[in-house]
Amino acid sequence: MRCNKNKSPIFSAEQLRRISFQMLEGLKYMKNRGVIHCDMKPENILFTDQSYQAIKIIDFGASCEDCKKGFFYVQSRYYRAPEILLGNTYDHAADMWSLGCIIFELIMC
């Protein structure tokens, strides 16, 4: 994702609220199904409409079902949760950390 050089917000507050809510709903759905995405990043979130209000979470190639054993590669560097950096066990909270990083990036750019 590239930041806006004009320093004006790329998304309105209402758009950010809707996008964030949909990402949270997606992560809630995955958690209820026992799936950890393991690679949440802006490139894996697609807009499905012209007004940039509806999203889909994609690319489940690194995902796992309630990972008992961790994988070697989990999450992109900039969105990696602390427990993964430390080599500790991880769960659905790692995706929430990534989501927080994504939302922060959307707000700050």
What amino acid positions are annotated as catalytic residues?
Answer: 39
Alpha carbons 56 and 106: distance in angstroms, whole number: 16
DSSP-derived secondary structure letter, 86: T
